[in-house]
Amino acid sequence: MKIGFDNDLYLKTQSEHIKKRISDFNNKLYLEFGGKLFDDYHASRVLPGFRPDSKLEMLLQLKEQAEIIIVISADAIESSKIRGDLGITYDDDVLRLIDAFRSKGLYVGSVVITQYSGENAADIFRQKLHDLGIQSYLHFKIEGYPSNIDHIVSDEGYGKNEYIETTKPLVVVTAPGPGSGKMATCLSQLYHEHKRGIQAGYAKFETFPIWNLPLRHPVNIAYEAATADLNDVNMIDPFHLEAYGVPTVNYNRDIEIFPVLNATFELIMGENPYKSPTDMGVNMAGYCITDDAVCNDASRQEIIRRYYQCLCDLKKGIGSKDAMYKLQLLMKQAGISESNRLVIQPTLLREVETTHPVVGIELPDGSIVTGKTSDLLGASAAALLNSIKVLGNIPDEVHLVSPEAIEPIQTLKTSYLGGSNPRLHTDEILIALSVTAAHSETAKYALDQLPKLCGCELHSSVILSSVDEHIFKKLGLHITCEPKFDSNKIYHKA
């Protein structure tokens, strides 16, 4: 994979910038953490070289100074809101995040249930937290939020929220997903700290859009593509332009809320330390791009991938046509089309030849390997085996796993486990290959090629099964699928 981003420089400059912001605010900073702290694969795809856990690595450099507050809204608990990328509810993800932070030696101070108005599910979740020994707090719905500033910044607004006890100079406020109430939690704490004579500060850590890249830079367009369902729009920050005469990029929600934030800061602190939404950010990612062309190409591919994901979601009945129209517009703005994804056409041509589903993989050298559906293997498993053969210069006629070894697995699936599809999925063929590797040097050598697939582009002529999609993502491949199923059935089991 070509590298376009210096991750080590990013960790160094980002942590230094946050330390400076802490000192600017008398050693007490509430830092709103946007995006994913763990597994930020979007950033790693559009900024090749960015490690998915870079934000966590950066936070670990500050762990002696930091504690974490996890925020979840009562509405999300009540509605069992799901994290789309993980397939788990927001309240389950809170517990997952606590375990993940603790496993790295980071201190999780508490959980805050926001926008609370007596929801039964929130009460049950809070009791669960109590039973697990986790401190929790309630923040309430505030009438007139976010416009009625005088009411919000009063004892009847933020003042009704429970004060969150914190002990570290840096308080990182994060959440399972957007709309959880991170910013409101930070501002509520500023109000309570001010009443206690503590002049705490607030800042925001949001990777995208990158403020010091051009508005129509592919990296920033890719952010709009990633949030097409939220209808986020990148904009020139008018407050920053007016204050400094310098154009910077922010997004509509932060720009729209800034007058409210400005008035809030003035009521709490007497004056706003920031002249623009851009000033609030602590994002040094733009300074760490080392090869703009590489990041441009990676971002264009991401925009196309987001478009195909939206098409597949629509086919599954969970997508939005408005999001699809926006993604089509973003592709035009980026000057790209489906033809810019080189793995697609060979995959579809191979499907026409075989009349069965096909998976194609573009390897690091630009060559494209396909796998077709057969009696033994699904297209995904075939493409995986064919790719590692090419990567290891193993002749095509060599059987990495013998048909005799596959047949008992098929019998297990269909005769004993009640399955209807005898073909092996990617997880099954990898297990079979691993077993074969115990007595075959060729199979062992083939397994050693798997890391080379990380960063490769993949296209399937049909929507992948959840099993195959999961394995390919684990291997680091970048996936797109045609928006159609492999059969005309109306029920499709993942």
Tokens of 431: 């297990």
7-214+238-286 and 342-481 in the same fold = no
Rg (CA), the chain: 25
Smallest CA-to-CA distance from 306 within 270, 334, 271 is with 334
433 close to 392: Cβ distance less than 8 angstroms? no
- pLDDT of 122 higher than 90: yes
| Amino acid at position 39, single letter | D
Any alpha helices (H) in 355-412, and if so which ranges? Answer: 379-391, 403-411
Q: 70-79, 130-139, 254-263 — which is least confidently predicted?
A: 254-263
196-218 mean pLDDT = 94
Tell me what pLDDT residue 261 has: 86
Domain boundaries, the chain: 7-214+238-286, 342-481
3-state SS, residue 188 = helix
Please write the tens of the pLDDT for every residue from 358-382.
999 999 999 999 999 998 999 999 9
115-136 mean pLDDT = 97
Q: 93-97, 153-157, 408-412 — which is least confidently predicted?
A: 408-412
Paired residues of 236 in beta bridges: 249
pTM of the model: 0.90
Please write the tens of the pLDDT for every residue from 413-427.
888 888 888 889 999
Tell me what pLDDT residue 172 has: 96
Paired residues of 377 in beta bridges: 424
DSSP designation for 414: I
- Beta strands at 249-251 and 234-236: parallel, antiparallel or unpaired: antiparallel
The CATH homologous superfamily for domain 342-481 is Domain of unknown function (DUF1846), C-terminal subdomain (3.40.140.40)
291 close to 23: Cβ distance less than 8 angstroms? no
Higher-confidence residue: 260 or 327? 327
Tell me what pLDDT residue 486 has: 85
Higher-confidence residue: 167 or 418? 167
- pLDDT of 494 higher than 70: no
306 close to 225: Cβ distance less than 8 angstroms? yes
Cβ burial, residue 451 (10 Å; 0-12/13-18/19+): exposed
276-291 mean pLDDT = 96
Tell me what pLDDT residue 173 has: 97
164 close to 137: Cβ distance less than 8 angstroms? yes
Tell me what pLDDT residue 493 has: 56
Tell me what pLDDT residue 39 has: 76
Q: 31-35, 140-144, 192-196, 490-494 — which is least confidently predicted?
A: 490-494
Ramachandran category for residue 378: left, alpha or beta (phi over 0 → left; psi -120 to 50 → alpha): beta
Average predicted confidence (pLDDT) for the chain? 93
Alpha carbons 20 and 350: distance in angstroms, whole number: 56
- pLDDT of 159 higher than 80: yes
Q: Which residues, other chains included, contact 173 with Cβ-Cβ below 8 Å and sequence gap of 6+?
A: 30, 31, 32, 33, 68, 69, 71, 182, 185, 186
The CATH homologous superfamily for domain 7-214+238-286 is dip2346 domain like (3.10.630.10)
Under the banding of pLDDT at 50, 70 and 90, the label for residue 490 is low
Counting residues of the chain whose pLDDT is more than 90, the rounded percentage is 80
C-alpha distances (whole Å) from 35 to each of 162, 229, 311, 454, 477 are 26, 15, 24, 23, 21
Tell me what pLDDT residue 415 has: 86
- pLDDT of 234 higher than 70: yes
64 close to 241: Cβ distance less than 8 angstroms? no
Query: Phi and psi at residue 198, in whole multiples of 5°?
Result: -110, 120
Alpha carbons 323 and 230: distance in angstroms, whole number: 8
Q: 83-97, 177-191, 223-237, 299-313 — which is least confidently predicted?
A: 83-97
Alpha carbons 304 and 331: distance in angstroms, whole number: 7
Please write the tens of the pLDDT for every residue from 39-82.
788 999 999 999 988 989 999 999 999 999 999 999 999 999 98
